[in-house]
Amino acid sequence: MDIASASDKTLANAIRALSMDAVQQANSGHPGAPMGMADIAQVLWSRHLKHNPADPAWFDRDRFVLSNGHGSMLIYALLHLSGYDLPMDELRNFRQMHSRTPGHPEVGITAGVETTTGPLGQGLGNAVGFALAEALLAREFNREGYDVVDHLTWVFAGDGCLMEGISHEACSLAGTWKLSKLVVMYDDNGISIDGKVENWFGDDTPARFESYGWNVIRAVDGHDAASIHNAIEQARRNAKEGTGPTLICCRTVIGKGAPNAAGSEKVHGAPLGADEIAATRAALDWNHGPFEIPQEVYQGWDCREKGGAQQAEWQQRFDAYSQAYPELAAELARRLKGELPADYSAKVQAFIDETAQKAETIASRKASQLAISALVNVLPEMLGGSADLTGSNFTDWKGAEAVRAHADGVHFGRHINYGVREFGMAAIMNGVALHGGYLPFGGTFLTFSDYSRNAIRMAALMKQRVVHVFTHDSIGLGEDGPTHQSIEHANSLRLIPNLHVWRPCDTTETAVAWACSVERPTSIGMDVQDGGPSALLLSRQNLPFVERDAQTIQNIRRGGYVLRDAQDARAIIMATGSEIGLALQAQEQLAAQGIATRVVSMPCTNLFDAQDKQWRDQVLTPGIPRVAVEAGTTGLWFKYVGLEGAVVGIDTYGESAPAGVLFKHFGLTAEKVAAAVQEIL
């Protein structure tokens, strides 16, 4: 690279200066990591990273993930200096309301930020998803002489990321899959919030990653540009040769440049203070005021010309590819726009109609498999799997080809065996969704959603279209006992904003749940749409089919609707999933006693809550007493039944026994529901 009268050190010091100035002005933040990693960042971004600041969303750009997201001023400084649309005023407004420089990087807020990071380790998990998506798309779409998918994923990670268990889950998979275009630069500074990590983090990190099947470059001087450059060049060779992912261990000093604070936990998460900043400026020979960058430094950093040339070269290649393989090019373009196929609506509606015609009494997990089997033929972008429960979650389908690694890297497939790694699976799926090109879904038991929860939350925060298939949704799994029986999980997940939680009652509701989940707007990379993830809560036991007319089937999409009405209904019984059958039986029992009731199905309370007041009042008519029934905790349902209503549910942990025995034991019977209605009248 030509550096216009600016040395590597000077360019790196610009990062240090901006980081300490922004944190000082905000009076909060983390200057230590940006200052310690400045030299690594300078070499990567100015010499190696393939990106175009003028078009941050260019598809074949390299992906950069700052997994240690608390060091957010590092990426903000990089974006500003290299030519992205992030003016200095935004750096001055670091951590302030509605700025484009929030405390931790957020996708959709700042151009050039690929994923929201902060919860340590998840950025690394997302990066495995980025690399997996790139590798699979390359296998699916590249043709000899036309490598239109060919980019690397770079990760900055610190000690905290590698302490988190998710790093083990995700990095083990990355090694197994031979994701050679994944490069992690480990900021080995030996410091975390509480002090020297040697007292609680004694891992042999290089040996650990070697055991995963990674290439490891040890003991790189993280403050020597030549050493960093040589390590990155080796990582690039590893990527080209397909020898697996690479970990570059960079020994650094946290807060590098601060003469009194560097190397200590004191510089991790607090402003340096005016005196230390003055001393740092002197130590770095940085003779410029706060937020002042000399023109020659800007010139040395500017990546727009180089990035524009790289993108133009790729565009020429893609144009030639489009001429040679027009159908493949059109399919890739569709997916990268997040558009559904032209024939999607008709085919999906035909499948929903088919479920109504067949009227099958089967478990909703089996109904989900039927929906998946139909959708994968309509949506080639669907990429599914399970955390070692494929035969229970039913997330596979006839003819599904598994993702497997060979000597030359991962081979194309659409079904993923994640192993027993629920959290890793969820974070990887987030990365796949963020990358674009695939619609990820993955399965486990509902109880184990707890393992995935923070990644589910991050998908909701980032508005990513990810589908979680959670089977064995209640005490209905019986003999496995309370460790596996979901009691609080449905309502707990419903509390996550922007997550659509579906608990369908039969094949038709399950089909609609899947349709609504895949139809949520797609957020590709930095183009964040108002969509989000979905969670399907599915039964192990068979559920009776419920007949509906065409309009009632359409009403399922509203999240809550009248399933069975009665003239002059005196009470409303609402339910979800397996308890719909109990509600309908109770309705019949009460009718025999001259008590007319309405049965409301609430497969997705989140969607129902989003409906207009007219619809909500039409379904849950004000003034009519209400009873809710669900095989789980009762608290949330009082928002629908009111304090005068009743809820039939379970507020204790389950037991180990056959499902039928358990439902009677916990009072989940039609008789109990009917009695609850009579009590509130």
| Active-site residue list | 422
Positions of E strands within 472-529? 500-502
Handedness of CA 435, 440, 444, 446 (dihedral sign): positive
> What is the spatial distance between Cα 28 and Cα 537, in angstroms, rounded to a whole number?
41
**Distances from the Cα of 219 to the Cαs of 200, 206, 210, 259, in angstroms?**
21, 9, 14, 24
Q: Which long-range contacts (CB under 8 A, 24 or more apart) does 138-144 make?
A: 139/410, 139/411, 139/412, 140/412, 141/328, 141/331, 141/332, 143/321, 143/324, 143/325, 143/328
> What is the spatial distance between Cα 33 and Cα 496, in angstroms, rounded to a whole number?
31
Whether the CB-CB separation of 254 and 189 falls below 8 Å is answered with yes
Residue 142: CB partners within 8 Å, gap ≥ 6?
A: 148, 149, 150
Q: What stretch of H or E contains 469?
A: strand 467-471
Return the residue matching tokens 């000077």. Answer: 10
Whether the CB-CB separation of 558 and 607 falls below 8 Å is answered with yes
Whether the CB-CB separation of 598 and 566 falls below 8 Å is answered with yes
> What is the spatial distance between Cα 141 and Cα 137, in angstroms, rounded to a whole number?
6
Residue 623 Rama label (left phi>0; alpha psi -120 to 50; beta): left
Sheet holding 153-158, edge to edge: 63-66, 153-158, 182-188, 246-251, 215-221
CA 642 from chain centre, in angstroms, equals 35
Beta-carbon count within 10 A of 145 CB: 9
Which tokens belong to 176?
């197994």
> What is the spatial distance between Cα 403 and Cα 391, in angstroms, rounded to a whole number?
17
Q: Tell me how many helices (H) and strands (E) the chain has.
A: 27, 22
SS3 208: helix
Positions of E strands within 338-436? 362-363, 382-386, 404-406, 409-411, 415-417
Positions of E strands within 75-208? 153-158, 182-188, 191-192, 195-196
> What is the spatial distance between Cα 371 and Cα 61, in angstroms, rounded to a whole number?
35
User: What is the DSSP-derived secondary structure letter of residue 586?
Assistant: H
Which tokens belong to 301?
């950093």
